[in-house]
Structure 1
Amino acid sequence: MRRSEFLRAVEVEFGARAATLVNDLVLGAVGSRTAAEALEAGVPPRDIWLALCAETDVPVERRHGVGRLEPRRR
């Protein structure tokens, strides 16, 4: 997962709460940092995404493959 995919996934899943969660919610699974701090520290975006999902009780079926754009059609 790339950083852009992470940010897209957070926006899709959490909508208006996305920025607040990324900047304010401390995630123990990534070193007791916020998602924004973890990104800056070099934690892989996929690890942050999974930690955020676990902390906010996102169902497992919505955790995988999100944030990716649909492939371009030729």
Structure 2
Amino acid sequence: MRLSEFWALVEQEFGAGYGAVVTRTQTLGSLGGRTADDALGQGEQVRTVWEAICRDMDIAPEHHHLPDLPAREQR
């Protein structure tokens, strides 16, 4: 997972403004009590951080991935 995909998922789930607050302030037990921003800054894998957000914040499984783009938008 690329960092751009991570931010797209955060925005999709929480909205742009609140998503930034969540990653900056929400401590996650799955990351040893670190925030997503701290974990990413310390070199944690992007996918690991997103999975921690999903687990700790009870994100619905159908929201764990970006939706598929229609064929013409993939070009």
For the pair shown, the structure with the greater C-alpha radius of gyration is 2
- Normalised by the length of structure 1, the TM-score is 0.82
In structure 1, runs of 5+ residues without a counterpart are none
Could you tell me which residue of structure 1 aligns to residue 42 of structure 2? 41
Structure 2-normalised TM-score? 0.81
**Counterpart amino acid of 2:56?**
E
* Structure 2 gap segments, 5+ residues each: none
Q: Whose RCO is larger (CA < 8 A, sep 6+)?
A: 1
Which residue in the other structure is 1:32 paired with? 33
Question: Superposed, which structure 2 residues align to 1:1-74 within 5 Å?
Answer: 1-15=1-15, 16-63=17-64, 65-66=65-66, 70=69, 72-73=74-75
User: Structure 1 runs of 4+ off > 6 angstroms?
Assistant: none
Determine what percentage of the aligned residue pairs are the same residue: 38
Cα root mean square deviation, aligned? 1.8
Alignment length (residue pairs) = 71
More helix by share: 2
Secondary structure of the structure 1 residue equivalent to 2:8: helix
